[in-house]
Amino acid sequence: NISIVCTDISKGILAWTRKIKQTNADKVSYIATEGRYMSIKDNRFDFITSVAAFGNIPESDVDHSKGIY
């Protein structure tokens, strides 16, 4: 039993993704949130993956992001 949570800072990107992927609303949710201040509780996820997001992390935040690997 799995559920998928898609996040992005842009509500528009999330709406576009939902439209083109035509996902099962019972299994997939979409949350617009800023990565540094995520509105998601700690320890909620067993697995996290990212596509194209790490290139958007400012150099000043790279040291902080090393802890997520």
Within a domain: 65? no
d(CA 61, CA 35): 11
Residue at 12 is within a domain: yes
Token pair 């540094």 is at which residue? Answer: 36
Q: Provide the number of structural domains found in the chain.
A: 1
Q: What is the pLDDT of residues 3-55, one digit of tens each?
A: 888 888 889 999 998 899 887 778 888 888 877 777 777 777 777 777 777 66
Q: Which domain holds residue 29?
A: 4-56
Question: Does residue 15 sit within a domain?
Answer: yes
Task: Establish if 66 belongs to a structural domain.
Answer: no
Question: 68 lies in a domain?
Answer: no
The reported pTM is 0.63
DSSP 37-48: G--S-TT--S--
